[in-house]
């Protein structure tokens, strides 16, 4: 009974987020209310919370305080990582560093820009993860495009492309990283199985979108040109390398990624201070007011704190569902229902993985993948794990809050949930379906 009430709270909160524009309430408010009420009900009625026993594939009872701290810790790792990435991006922007990438987009043709941005998102996300790639590219987009509606379309396509690019790289998406660190996949087979399906997942929606009226013609120039900065290209390279260093730091130390991100942030901040002091004392014509402020202090005032709080609310709310065993039990039901069945080229577990992609659009893919790692006993590099990596990584594109990249883009560009559902969801669905079919065909008839 109380579990049903908690699900109702989650459903109402989810709808409030979806209709934030109509309700005229910022999405972070229902996210935080939903999170507080769900955990409050669990505590008030003293409901049993669980931890997934991945070894025995069962739920084991756990103390509420430990469970709450566990999900808060997991969520905080993501939030601190996100704050670090956002701050590095803003420090690069402090020196107009993104002019270097903007130079790659020399054309004013909207369709050509679409293809360039989508390919950049696809490959950047594989290197610096889809979350950070989205932040970088939307920052560039804000400097490149005047038209608000056009920016929303480009941002939506960045989400689709970045999630597709993150699926085939062990450091491109948090769920793929989980499978890699959990010794479910190795880098070589992961790339071999998923590179082509992920490319299809990105290219097909981009091809369809390129025929849309909104991408016809040329963009108008920005009314204000930005000054070149002598340290712009250098800080851009340093910033990107510092982010690439994060997974290397994790491999060396075994510590969570946020530790490496904080270390990288400190390095970039130190170099930024040196550059700022040089510019401040330079006899050249510089903006003295800007360079009188510390780069990291300036950057911290620019990051999207509403997105951070929204992320806190939605992840902790989903954590409440996981703590109650709802996510795990849903996965168990899917396996028991579909395992052993199948039709045409699809096998029983293929249907489970396929549905997992749709679930990841509605529920955070992190607990879904965590649950799947405990439910399935297949060995390392079994195609099942590659299918899960693809489905969880790209399925979230169908709903804007179904992926970290979508949540960040939603905050940075104020994208409306319903607008995304109407305009981008179909493209994401087509890409997901096409990529999944290609994955099955490659697995069964080629590889």
d(CA 181, CA 190): 13
pLDDT at position 38: 96
pLDDT at position 344: 44
The model's pLDDT over 221-242, given as tens digits with 9 standing for 90+, comes to 654 556 677 888 899 899 989 9
Q: Are 164 and 199 in contact (CB under 8 A)?
A: yes
User: Structure tokens of 27?
Assistant: 């999405």
Identify the DSSP state of 225. P
d(CA 146, CA 127): 29
pLDDT at position 387: 92
By three-state DSSP, how is residue 230 classified?
coil
The model's pLDDT over 127-156, given as tens digits with 9 standing for 90+, comes to 878 888 898 899 888 888 888 899 999 999
Tell me the torsion sign for CA atoms 66, 323, 403, 444: positive
By three-state DSSP, how is residue 303 classified?
coil
- Exposed, middle or buried: residue 100 (CB in 10 Å: 0-12, 13-18, 19+)? middle
User: Structure tokens of 67?
Assistant: 């469970």
Which residue in the block uniquely carries the two structure tokens 């800080």?
235
pLDDT at position 429: 96
Domain-by-domain residue ranges, the chain? Answer: 2-63+306-445, 75-302
Mean pLDDT by 10 residues, the chain (447 residues): 92 84 84 95 92 67 89 86 86 84 81 94 87 86 87 95 92 79 82 95 97 90 63 90 85 86 95 89 60 84 84 86 82 68 58 86 69 71 90 91 84 87 95 95 82
Q: Which of 176, 412, 424 is nearest to 310 (CA)?
A: 412
């Amino acid at each position: 009974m109380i579990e049903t009430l908690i699900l109702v709270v989650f459903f109402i909160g989810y709808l409030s987020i979806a209709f934030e524009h109509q309700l005229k309430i910022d999405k972070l408010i229902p996210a935080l209310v939903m999170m507080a009420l769900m955990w409050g009900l669990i505590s008030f009625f003293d409901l049993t919370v669980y931890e997934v026993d991945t070894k025995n594939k069962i739920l084991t009872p756990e103390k509420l305080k430990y469970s709450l701290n566990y999900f808060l810790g997991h969520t905080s790792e993501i939030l601190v990582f996100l704050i670090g990435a956002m701050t590095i991006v803003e420090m690069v922007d402090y020196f107009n560093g993104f002019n270097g990438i903007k130079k790659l987009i020399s054309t004013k043709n909207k369709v050509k820009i679409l293809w360039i941005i989508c390919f950049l998102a696809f490959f950047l996300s594989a290197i610096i993860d889809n979350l950070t790639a989205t932040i970088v590219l939307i920052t560039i987009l804000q400097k490149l495009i005047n038209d608000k509606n056009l920016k929303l379309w480009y941002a939506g396509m960045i989400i689709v492309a970045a999630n597709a690019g993150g699926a085939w790289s062990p450091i491109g998406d948090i769920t793929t990283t989980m499978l890699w660190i959990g010794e479910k996949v190795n880098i070589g087979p992961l790339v071999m199985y998923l590179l082509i399906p992920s490319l299809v997942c990105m290219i097909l929606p981009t091809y369809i979108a390129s025929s849309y009226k909104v991408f016809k013609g040329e963009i108008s120039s920005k009314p204000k040109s930005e000054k070149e900065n002598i340290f712009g290209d250098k800080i851009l390279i340093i910033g990107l390398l510092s982010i690439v260093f994060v997974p290397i730091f994790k491999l060396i130390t075994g510590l969570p990624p946020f530790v490496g991100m904080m270390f990288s942030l400190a390095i970039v901040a130190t170099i930024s201070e040196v550059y700022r002091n040089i510019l401040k004392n330079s006899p050249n014509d510089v903006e003295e007011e800007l360079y009188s402020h510390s780069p990291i202090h300036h950057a911290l005032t620019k990051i999207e704190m509403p997105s951070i709080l929204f992320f806190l609310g939605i992840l902790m709310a989903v954590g409440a569902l996981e703590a109650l065993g709802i996510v795990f039990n849903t996965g168990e039901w899917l396996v028991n229902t579909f395992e052993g069945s199948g039709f045409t080229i699809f096998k029983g577990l293929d249907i489970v993985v396929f549905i997992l992609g749709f679930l990841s659009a509605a529920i955070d893919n992190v607990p879904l993948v965590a649950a799947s790692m405990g439910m399935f006993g297949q060995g390392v590099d079994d195609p099942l794990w590659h299918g899960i990596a693809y489905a969880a990584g790209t399925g979230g594109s169908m709903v804007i809050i179904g992926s970290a990249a979508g949540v960040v883009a939603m905050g940075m560009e104020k994208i409306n949930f319903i607008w995304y559902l109407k305009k981008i969801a179909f493209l994401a669905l087509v890409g997901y379906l096409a990529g999944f079919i290609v994955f099955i065909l490659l697995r069964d008839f080629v590889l």
